[in-house]
Structure 1
Amino acid sequence: MNTPRIALVTGANQGLGRALVEGLAARSNPQDLVLLTGRDAGRVDRAAAEVAREPGTRSRVEGRVLDVADAEAVAALAAELKLRHGGVDVVISNAVARLLPDRSQAAQADEFIDVANGGTHAVLRSFGPVLRPGGRLIVVASSLGTLGHLDARLRPRFDGASLDQVEYAVESWRSAVHAGTAQEQGWPLWLNVPSKVAQVAAVRAVAAERRDRDLAAGTLVAAVCPGMVDTATSRPWFADYSQARTPAEAARAVLDLVFAEGADPELYGELVRSGKVLPWPDGTPPTAQDRLLVP
């Protein structure tokens, strides 16, 4: 009998995260386990129970409470899965805090950075070491995550940086936001832009350390861009959703990457959209008039 595969998705009680769980559960085997995680116990339990009852579900589905902003909780869950199952096969870091257009960016900075960036760092640090050979460690980012979206003064902080250096740059940015000096230092007004660049830089940092042994084992570490997705998180920012994907549609390309045979060296450590690499140097810094949250 094959060893059961263990998959985990963060920020998964709704939207894209839930669609990713649904897709994993539909494509996995009956002995496999998919963990649906989120911060609210009631929502997590309801979502996991609903997915488990869906006609297309083939694998086991369980809900687990996990606040990715709590690095100790992330580490504890990774250690538990290592002890109980010998590791994990698929980890998709998807959690994000909602941004609202009618509140200042500074007022929302801490929660957003703690979840999107602190959560990414915690998942990479804790689940990277327990990822089994042939596994997938995926961070959901966006097309805004390429380096060119930052002012040229800021790019050296992320280009070729270690994970520690990325974390330091993120905290420097957070401090500048609260001090009111972010824009004069070149940071974009919209939090989503430096946050996504930092997420991709964190993936690149971890991938640079693991590349040779991961590719030899068929293991993939990457960031993904799901495209514009019609969710409660993105709806406040756009009037026209005619080009947006449903969560299920957006999840499909991510899951194709998860279930692909082996690990494509061209995709390893990169930001991938629909199977194609978005080059790291690409992008243009947003203007003050832009309200860029487009994935």
Structure 2
Amino acid sequence: MGIPRIALVTGANQGLGRALVEGLAARLGPDDLVLLTGRDARRVADAAGEVARAPATRARVEGRVLDVVHASSVAALAAELAERHGGVDVMISNAIMRLLPEVSQAAQADEFIDVSNSATHAVLRSFGPVLRDGGRLLVVASTLGSLGHLPARLRPLFDGASLDGVERAVESWREAVRSGTARDEGWPRWLNVPSKVAQVAAVRAVAAERRERDLATGTLVASVCPGMVDTATSRPWFADFSAARSPARAARAVLDLVSADGVDPALHGELVRFGEPLPWHGGTPPTEQDRLLTP
């Protein structure tokens, strides 16, 4: 009998996060543990109970309250899992704040950056060191995470940056939004663009530092793009959902990375979409889309 595997998903009450928990619970074994996390205790308990009782579930499923905007809480959970279980095998950072089209982007920026970016930094710092050999640390991002989606003058802030450097760039962006200078500095109006680029850059920074050991031990650190997912978070922003995937279907490609034997070196540190790496320097600034979105 092997050592029980420990998996954790953030932002897992509903949508893609819940589908990832369901998939992990079905793919892992009876001795393994999947932690469904979120910040609302009642919703966490209800969701975890439903997944635990589902016919396809094989692994143990538990709910844990975790507000990812508090770095100390993220660190405490990582330390607890390291002490109790010797580390974690799967960490999927999926938490996101729902943006509302009827509210200005600037008014939503602080909380959005906290949930999408500051939390990503906390997860990478706290869970990277406790990831066991052969483990998976995945950050859910999107195709907007390619560097080319930023104007050329902003790209050096993220290209080749350390995690500390990415964090400084994010805080510079946040301050520009607060002060009303973001547009003059070239930052896209749509928060998702710099946020996703920063998420991917943060993953790249951490992965670069640990690449040699990770490849030797079959460990994967990467960001992932699940494609367009039909959820309450994305529906207000798109008129045509004919190509959208259900959360369960979108989760499969992410879970295939978790289940794969070994690690393809071409995927380590990259933004992975349906099993293939996306070019870091790809993409173009979404200027037309930007003009259509709430300023």
TM category, shorter:
over 0.9
The question of 1:47 aligning with 2:60 is answered no
- What secondary structure, in the 3-state scheme, does the structure 2 residue paired with 1:103 have? coil
Structure 1 residues 173-194: Cα deviation after superposition (integer angstroms, max 9, x where no partner): 0000011110111100000000
CA distance in 1, matches of 2:239, 2:278: 26
Q: Residue 45 of structure 1: CA displacement?
A: 0.3
> Which amino acid in the other structure matches residue 187 of structure 1?
W
Find the counterpart in structure 2 of residue 205 from structure 1.
205
CA distance in 2, matches of 1:53, 1:289: 43
Find the counterpart in structure 1 of residue 185 from structure 2.
185
| Cα contact 1:237–1:291 (8 A) shared by 2 | no
The question of 1:125 aligning with 2:122 is answered no
Structure-to-structure mapping, 1:276-295, within 5 angstroms: 276-287=276-287, 289-290=289-290
Structure-to-structure mapping, 1:47-196, within 5 angstroms: 47-196=47-196
CA distance in 2, matches of 1:217, 1:126: 20
Find the counterpart in structure 2 of residue 264 from structure 1.
264
Q: Residue 292 of structure 1: CA displacement?
A: 8.9
- What secondary structure, in the 3-state scheme, does the structure 1 residue paired with 2:34 have? strand
Q: Residue 288 of structure 1: CA displacement?
A: 5.1
Q: Residue 289 of structure 1: CA displacement?
A: 4.0
Q: Residue 32 of structure 1: CA displacement?
A: 0.1
CA distance in 2, matches of 1:232, 1:125: 30
Structure-to-structure mapping, 1:248-259, within 5 angstroms: 248-259=248-259
Please list every run of at least 4 consecutive aligned residues from structure 1 whose deviation after the TM superposition is greater than 4 angstroms.
none
TM-score computed with the length of structure 1 as normaliser = 0.98
CA distance in 1, matches of 2:151, 2:267: 26
Find the counterpart in structure 2 of residue 233 from structure 1.
233
Unaligned runs of 5+ in 2: none
CA distance in 1, matches of 2:289, 2:135: 41
> Which amino acid in the other structure matches residue 103 of structure 2?
R
- What secondary structure, in the 3-state scheme, does the structure 2 residue paired with 1:214 have? helix
- What secondary structure, in the 3-state scheme, does the structure 1 residue paired with 2:90 have? strand
Distance 1:288 1:15, change over 3 A: same
Computed over aligned residues only, the root mean square deviation of the Cα atoms, in angstroms, reads 1.1
The question of 1:25 aligning with 2:25 is answered yes
Q: Would you say how many aligned residue pairs link Structure 1 and Structure 2?
A: 293
- What secondary structure, in the 3-state scheme, does the structure 2 residue paired with 1:81 have? helix
| Cα contact 2:220–2:268 (8 A) shared by 1 | yes
Q: Residue 273 of structure 1: CA displacement?
A: 0.2
Structure 1 residues 115-137: Cα deviation after superposition (integer angstroms, max 9, x where no partner): 00011000000000000000000
